[in-house]
Structure 1
Amino acid sequence: MARILIIEARFYDHIADGLLAGAREALDAAGASHELLTVPGIFELPGALNLVLAAAAHGNETARYDGFVALGCAIRGETDHYHHVGTECMRGLADLSVAHQLAFGNGVLTCHDEAQALNRADPKRKNLGGQAGRACLRMLAIKRALGLAV
């Protein structure tokens, strides 16, 4: 059974709820176990993932996971903050995913407005949380097929 860590940003609770519900549903449907780590916003997602990877590298068995799902949302506001936070989050997650050969699903939304975010987060609509969960599981299957994961 796969053991997955969901790292979620709770800046927009009502959007995070939808993303998390979709991810959990996808992982449950596949029979994967999952745990949750919550951070304040999407900027903290790469840092939290890096801390978990460091703990696992230092022998912390409870920090060892087969895959990871990142969830969160940035919505365009009156300033450039959304752009900078979104860019750094995505860059950080991509860099860690590649450097550590992670089975990873990215469910971080960068949206122009709240309506767009709600549509993408809702498990009954776009369900990007579910898509991120399934992406993680697919990448784990690829790792296993290549002999890179047990």
Structure 2
Amino acid sequence: MSGEGAPDQEVFDASGLKVAIVAASWHTQVMDGLLGGAQRALAEYGVTQHRTVRVPGTFELPVVASALAAQGYDAVVALGVVIRGGTPHFDYVCNAATDGLVRVGLDHTVAVGFGVLTCDNDQQAFERAGLPHSREDKGYEATSAALLTARTLASVRTGTP
């Protein structure tokens, strides 16, 4: 976990965008941090039209993200955390969530913010969760990326630079 090489994300007025956040419920403290980061980003970018939906776990993110995308949201931010255990469950959930969220973006041509932490242990999750003692704020980063992508998609659709 380096955090090195991240691009500078330009904050812009995204007040016209309609944004949905879909967030898993497992690992309450980590999820509270991720949601807090997403909410900070929405406020900083001026987004006032947003909805937050909670799902049981990370595996359920894609289906709800797809339903939200079908409702016309400009961006859907998916937040979750999967921590490696002693079984292949980690790999299955991570792959299903990743593949499903990519499919949502492609099938609906909508910006999808990928805020799913895939960690080997709890400490890695806490380091990325955007909590006061965290080194990174992946909820904010995923939301920022989704907003920037939504703006890019809008310019592609209208043919403007």
TM-score for both structures, normalised by structure 2: 0.82
Q: Flag the structure with more relative contact order, 1 or 2, with Cα contacts below 8 A and sequence separation at least 6.
A: 1
CA distance in 2, matches of 1:80, 1:24: 33
Question: What residue identity is the alignment partner of 1:21?
Answer: G
CA distance in 1, matches of 2:112, 2:63: 15
Aligned residue in 2 for 1:7: 22
Deviation at 1:123, TM superposition (A): 4.6
Deviation at 1:14, TM superposition (A): 0.8
CA distance in 2, matches of 1:30, 1:123: 20
Structure 1's consecutive aligned runs of 4 or more residues displaced over 3 angstroms after TM superposition are: none
Aligned residue in 1 for 2:98: 90
Aligned residue in 1 for 2:84: 76
Aligned residue in 2 for 1:60: none
> Does residue 130 of the first structure (1) align with residue 127 of the second (2)?
no
Any conservation in 2 of the 1:24–1:130 contact (CA below 8 Å)?
Answer: yes
Q: What pairs up with 1:43-54 in 2 under 5 angstroms?
A: 43-54=59-70
Question: What residue identity is the alignment partner of 1:11?
Answer: W
Deviation at 1:17, TM superposition (A): 0.3
Superposition RMSD on alpha carbons, in Å? 1.5
Aligned residue in 2 for 1:35: 51
CA distance in 1, matches of 2:125, 2:142: 15
CA deviations over 1:92-138 (Å, ceiling 9, x no partner): 00111112111121100100000000101125521000000100110
Question: What residue identity is the alignment partner of 2:73?
Answer: Y
Is the helix fraction higher in 1 or 2?
1
In structure 2, runs of 5+ residues without a counterpart are 1-15
Percent identity, aligned pairs only, is 36
Deviation at 1:145, TM superposition (A): 1.4
In structure 1, runs of 5+ residues without a counterpart are 57-63
